[in-house]
Structure 1
Amino acid sequence: MRTISAALIGAGAVLPLLAHATTAVPDPTDAGASVPAVAVQSAFDGYKSWQDGEAPGWTQLNRAVAPGHGKTGTKHGQQAGSPQEGKNGHGGDSK
């Protein structure tokens, strides 16, 4: 216990001497003070953009999903596969 107390007292006695040994910091309000150069590595160093490869254009994609004219045999407002007459459009008989 005595050695720990002696070490703490010795460290406490040396601490003020170490505080004065630090280098002088230039005054932050002095516009003419020299400033050390800062070297910061960019977060984008070594970045490679992702390439998907060849893809069809938007016109080709629109043509691929556009409904064909007259291919399904439906008329405006009618669902495919439902008869043209005799149904009310809800799957039940109209009575």
Structure 2
Amino acid sequence: MRTITAALVGAGAVLPLLAHAATAVPDPTDAAASVPAVTVQSAFDGYKSWQDGEAPGWQQLNRAVAPSRGVITMKHGQQPAATSDGKSGHEHGGESK
């Protein structure tokens, strides 16, 4: 058991040295050292702005929801106009006033 533990500890101590030796990193203090070009893909590559398309203007929307000119509107608290037979729209058939 001690032999296996010693072997694993030894391998663990040597492994970073082997990994460091495999990569040829230029000395960071050497100003004349060549540095590989860095290419970074932009986060906005392929970005397409959101477009709603052709939307109607506010004038056209107001005309679409406005009541037509033939409709008679009533303000709050106003009684309906009398019909051609002289009765208002609120009377019920068979009831006397």
Taking structure 2 as the reference length, the TM-score comes to 0.45
Taking structure 1 as the reference length, the TM-score comes to 0.46
Greater Rg over alpha carbons, structure: 2
